[in-house]
Amino acid sequence: MKVRLRLPALPEQAILDEQDQALITLIQTGLPLSATPYADLGRQLGMDESEVITRLKRLTDENIIKRFGVVVRHHELGYLANAMTVWNIPDEMVSELGSCMGQFEFVTLCYQRPRRLPDWPYNLFTMIHGQDRSDVLTNIQTLIERCGLEKIDHEVLFSTRRFKQRGAIYR
Amino acid sequence: MQSTHTDTTKLNKQQLGSLEKHLLNDFQHGFPLVSRPFQAIAEKLGTTEEMVIDTLAQLQQQGFVSRVGAVFRANSIGASTLAAMAVPEERLEEVAAMINDYSEVNHNYQREHHFNLWFVLTASDEQVLNAVLDDIEHCSGIPVMYLPMLEDYHIDLGFDLKWI
């Protein structure tokens, strides 16, 4: 398996300067829970508070930060089941059906990924959470009905054990 | 860290008061980018800044909150990929533990499938990522199927917790 990753090229606006990168490195484990978290981050970076806030706003506007806020742990909050549900969608329909699936609140991830034939025919990955298995399966049925997926092959991969879960650390 | 999904849930819904529930549900996106963000939240919830900070710290300590901060779009900084392996049942624990030891691995789950071990790798760049993938293949003797994101269709507004 010596195929290289060939990650998609970054969009133009996603080019980050050194201060952006330093800020991102510092906040990937979370904001300090202090009265003035942005000023505190700024002190460590040699920036003032308003610059930290301006940069975070820009990163959010540019969708480099997808979401800024409280990151909860589903399992601990009673959402005990999650299923990676994978779909084999004709290439020309991926964009339309992916956009449909990606807007449901119980879908926490909706990515197109490459097929790896013959082992792996699926090209759209959705992560679906629920309080238990039947809750997850009900949600999948809702997706099928609402997005018209009756003829699309799919598999439901429930997780049975969590070996590790934490936020991404980029360096 | 290891936990099975058959564990009794740690959530005792009785212990979560109204403030806790609002903090968990209402600020998953659009967190205030102002000088005193916890003060801004306190004003919305009719409490004090100190109470908001203490409660969030407690929720974090209890494991309900992973962090207060940013969720980055995949591959807009650094490089990441999903990877999967078909591991013989009797080697699962050993291979999972070996994979967990890489600091580049941030999620690692057993799933019900022929491909039964699924993990996410994140690194500063693609070269590091490829080196880790090669290393995992080499050390385990099992091929790694890697599945980098090509397109993201998800609008991330957090997760609406239903308090039942």
Q: How confident is the model at residue B7 (pLDDT cuts 50, 70, 90)?
A: very low
Which residues does chain A have within 8 Å of residue B146's beta carbon, measured at their own beta carbons? 1, 5
Between the alpha carbon of residue B47 and those of residues B20, B22, B23, B34, B61, the distances in Å are: 12, 12, 11, 18, 21
Domain that holds residue A131: 75-158
A–B: how many Cβ contacts below 8 A? Answer: 300
Instruction: Give a yes or no: residue A167 inside a domain.
Output: no
Q: In the predicted model, is pLDDT for residue A11 greater than 70?
A: no
Closest residue by Cα to residue B33 from A14, A23, A58: A58
How far apart are alpha carbons A57 and A38 in whole angstroms? 12
Closest residue by Cα to residue A24 from A50, A45, A5: A45
Looking at residue A126, which CATH number applies to its domain?
Answer: 3.30.70.920
Residues A82 and A146 occupy one common structural domain: yes
Supply the pLDDT for residue A7. Answer: 53
H or E element: which one contains B58? helix B49-61
| CB-based contact, B150 to chain A, within 8 Å | yes
Q: Which of residues 32-71 of B touch A (CB under 8 A)?
A: 33-39, 49, 53, 56-57, 60, 62-71
Instruction: Give a yes or no: residue A2 inside a domain.
Output: no
Residues A43 and A95 occupy one common structural domain: no
Residues A126 and A80 occupy one common structural domain: yes
Handedness of CA A88, A92, A95, A96 (dihedral sign): negative
pLDDT tens per residue across span B132-158: 999 999 999 999 999 999 999 987 777
Supply the pLDDT for residue A4. Answer: 46
pLDDT tens per residue across span A35-70: 999 999 999 999 999 999 999 999 999 888 989 999
| CB-based contact, B151 to chain A, within 8 Å | yes
Residues A104 and A31 occupy one common structural domain: no
Chain centroid to Cα A81, Å, comes to 17
| CB-based contact, A26 to chain B, within 8 Å | no
Closest residue by Cα to residue B115 from B129, B135, B95, B100: B95
Residues A41 and A108 occupy one common structural domain: no
Tokens of A33: 């829970």
Following DSSP, what letter does each residue of A146-168 receive, concatenated? HHT-TTSEEEEEEEEEEEEE---
Which residues does chain A have within 8 Å of residue B155's beta carbon, measured at their own beta carbons? 102-103
Type of residue at B157:
L
CB spacing of B124 vs A125 below 8 angstroms: no
pLDDT tens per residue across span B62-119: 999 999 999 888 777 778 899 999 999 999 999 999 999 999 998 899 999 999 999 9
Instruction: Give a yes or no: residue A8 inside a domain.
Output: no
Residues A88 and A125 occupy one common structural domain: yes
Q: Which of residues 101-160 of A touch B (CB under 8 A)?
A: 101-103, 105, 107-114, 116, 119-120, 124-125, 129, 131, 155, 157-160
Instruction: Give a yes or no: residue A131 inside a domain.
Output: yes
- The count of domains in chain A is 2
Looking at residue A25, which CATH number applies to its domain?
Answer: 1.10.10
